[in-house]
Structure 1
Amino acid sequence: MNDEKIFALFVKGEGAMLGVLVKKYQDPLYKYLVRYTNNTTLAEEILQETFIKVYEHSDKYDLQKPFRPWLYKVALNTARDKLRQKKLDWQSLADKEEPMAVNSPVRDLQSREIGEMIRKAVAELAPNQRQVFILRQYEKMSYADISTAVERPLNTVKSDMRRALQSLRELLASLTDIAMEGKYI
């Protein structure tokens, strides 16, 4: 049974059906929120609030549209609100330590350094580019689903992705140069 049918059953009164969707999406949505906020505690808060909002506002979901983009839109809007409330800016997030990886083995030093460079580069992207990049690369969403989730035209989403990739190439090249200079001095 697909997500839309499961949610339709929930809306019709079968409360346990929401639990099925929570179970399916809680891990991927949590990982997305950790990447988006770079803060595990904040990601947990947002995740809980997201599912509460899904429960409270189930009537706002159009049963004819895909469920996943709607869920991510709710999560993204909740994250934006929470970040605004906490007055976190992306520059300070970029300077924080890398969050603990979820269910992953210990990586060697080189992998951590590369991961840190990528994390810093992604954190430095413009907010719209960062959203699109995370949803496309980490969440494997289609451009159409991303367009729905972030409420922007499809061509704008594609343009944001192109700009994000170009910015990442430039940022990673400069970070790599800086890292190499530090190792040989």
Structure 2
Amino acid sequence: MPPGDLDLVEAFRRGDEFAFVTLYDRHKGAVYGYAAKMLLSRAAAEDIVQETFARAYEHRQRLVSAGAFRSWVFTIARNQCLNAIARADREPALREDAPDTPAPGTPFSHLLKSEQAALVHKALDALPPAYREVLVLREYQNLSYDEIAAVTRTTVSSVKSRLFKARRKTGEILRPWLDPTPAAPEPAASGARGPVAARA
């Protein structure tokens, strides 16, 4: 977290609305990106952002350390996303593409630059939520292993294990595009003649 955010978070914990609005403006994009990739829906992600920050303000006294603000907000967003996924399982709704830009330098950053958002969407949709969330937090939000462990309430070793499995599964889905192998030309049929018949 940038040093300037620490003072803002302390003011936010005291109920300073200006500090809250400033933190909201700085972090809403990251929360939206996470929710959009978890739910694969822009509209649902926008709802998650509003609900996340409303709950953050309501329960601001529960934030133990100013330095943990980012992981704390993502934890709230994660809970809201999991609730939304559970509701979607009961009441299936049409998902929409939710392209977003991964953190610079991460393995997937070149995919969206190559306009492969639909392929990434397909890969994310195929992952179980537990794998999808660690992949999104790491590749798109660039959180550390410790931060992801705090958000998902698990251990760093578990995060690494889930991330390995998520990357492997994603690689299986993306491999045909990432490493295309051109099909070998079929051998010409015996006795086949060219388009122009030989003259007698």
TM-score category, normalised to shorter length: 0.7 to 0.9
The number of residues matched between the two structures is 169
Letter of the 1:10 counterpart: F
Letter of the 1:55 counterpart: Y
Give TM-score, length-normalised by structure 2: 0.74
Residue of structure 2 equivalent to 1:118: 120
**1:98 aligns to 2:97 (yes or no):** yes
Give TM-score, length-normalised by structure 1: 0.79
Letter of the 1:62 counterpart: V
- Please identify, of 66-75 and 165-174, the stretch whose mean Cα deviation from structure 2 is larger: 165-174
Distance in 2, Cα, partners of 1:62 & 1:39: 32
RMSD over aligned Cα atoms: 2.8
Offset of 1:82 from its aligned partner? 2.5
Residue of structure 2 equivalent to 1:173: 175
Distance in 2, Cα, partners of 1:142 & 1:100: 23
Distance in 2, Cα, partners of 1:130 & 1:13: 34
Q: Gapped runs of 5+ residues in structure 1?
A: 103-109
Which one of 148, 154, 157 corresponds to residue 155 of structure 1? 157
The 1:97–1:111 alpha-carbon spacing in structure 2 relative to 1, beyond 3 Å, is farther
Give 1 or 2 for the bigger CA radius of gyration: 2
Q: Gapped runs of 5+ residues in structure 2?
A: 102-112, 184-200
Matches within 5 A, 1:1-185: 1-63=3-65, 65-87=67-89, 96-99=95-98, 111-112=114-115, 114-173=116-175
Distance in 1, Cα, partners of 2:87 & 2:61: 26
Contact 1:4 1:63 in 2 (8 A): no
Question: Which 4+ residue blocks in structure 1 deviate beyond 6 angstroms?
Answer: none
Aligned sequence identity (%): 26
